[in-house]
Amino acid sequence: MARAGPVPADRPPSQGRGSPAGDSIFQGLAVAAALLVMGTLAALLIVLFENSSQSFGAFGLQFLWSTTWTPAGNPLHPEAYSAGPFIFGTLVTSALAIVLGVPVSIGVAVFLTELSPPWLSEPLSGLVELLAAVPSVIYGLWGFFVLVPIMRTDVEPGLQQLLGPNFPLFSGTPLGLDKLTAGVILAVMIIPTVTAVSREAFRAVPTSQREAALSLGATRWETTRIGVISPARSGIFGAMTLGLGRAIGETMAVTMTIGNTNVISGSLVAPGQTIASLIATNFGESAPGTLFQSTLLELGLVLLMISLTVNVVARLLLSRVLNVEAGRE
């Protein structure tokens, strides 16, 4: 059999067997999908902005930091609303979720990828991913019937006894239905998401990184810290961003555990309210076209802008971290 000769240098590379029409259809579908995502976001912004114009015209920019909340029908004060207490509650509970949930998530991810035997790693990984599919109302029920009594009778009094009854973050009468309990619930809810993404980031680290650390005499902890966690920092940061996004927008579990009080309090054991919980508890009672419904829609717009801002800032910080790491290499 004759052996094929070398391919001439001037012959164009093979383009495969795909037809130009198929390529055009595929490209068109991909572009349409991207435009659909951007169009959905634009539609959300337009609808919320148009329907909140009445509230924006009545209260202006001070709506964002004011603490006034006077419903219609009060003979002593005119109808007035603001977003200050709810923005505060949203940021506090989300920060608590990140502070409490991320270290646990990273610890679980390290155990699954570095310490757990294979016969345990796979079933446990599946269990963690299964927790992400639990409806938020189930977490809320667990929090209301199990966590709230524990926080009220054991955890919060214990913190007050340890730090002193006048410590600002834990001052007041422990009720169980407060910002601290809501933050703990959110921390539990984001653990599956942050763990799954962090685990994949750890698995993506080449084995040579671990072997290099071990060859230099590093201990097991030093190998994990230097050869696994450090190279996977960008993945961990992305996991934190996903967890924060879920914590900011969570509704039912927070509504059932935060106490739903429209006030700003620096104490974590005091009741509060988030934007999502306020909308969930009041939107069904708001009449169309009223100032109250317009206020709730403006709060929805504020929540959307907070979520977008958090994601944009996270992207910028992540790109900066990647640029720094690239410069070191």
Q: What is the pLDDT of residues 21-60, one digit of tens each?
A: 888 898 999 999 999 999 998 999 999 999 898 998 888 8
Q: Can you tell me the distance from the alpha carbon of 268 to that of 277, in angstroms, rounded to the nearest whole number?
A: 17
Find where tokens 């219609």 sit: 72
> pLDDT category, 310, cuts 50, 70, 90?
confident
pLDDT at residue 119 in the model: 87
- The reported pTM is 0.85
**Domains (range + CATH), the chain:** 88-286 (1.10.3720.10)
Question: What CA–CA distance (Å, rounded) separates 134 from 16?
Answer: 45
Q: Dump pLDDT digits (tens) for 220-264.
A: 888 888 888 888 888 888 889 889 988 998 899 999 999 999 889
What is the pLDDT, as a whole number, of residue 34? 92
Residue 6's pLDDT band (cuts 50, 70, 90):
low
Residue 5, pLDDT score: 52
pLDDT at 11 over 80: no
| pLDDT band with cut points at 50, 70 and 90 for residue 1 | very low
Q: Regarding predicted confidence, which is higher, 3 or 58?
A: 58
Higher pLDDT, 73 or 207: 207
Residue 148 pLDDT class (50, 70, 90 cuts): very high
pLDDT of residue 8 exceeding 60, the answer is no
Is 3 a residue whose pLDDT tops 80? no
Q: What percent of the chain has pLDDT over 90?
A: 40
Min mean pLDDT across 133-137, 181-185, 317-321 is at 317-321
**pLDDT at residue 327, rounded to an integer:** 57
CB 96 within 8 A of CB 267: no
Q: What percent of the chain has pLDDT over 70?
A: 90
- The burial of 204, by beta-carbon neighbours within 10 Å (0-12 exposed, 13-18 middle, 19 or more buried), is given as exposed
Within 13 Å and on the Cβ side, how many CA atoms surround 109?
A: 28
In this model, does residue 284 exceed pLDDT 90? no
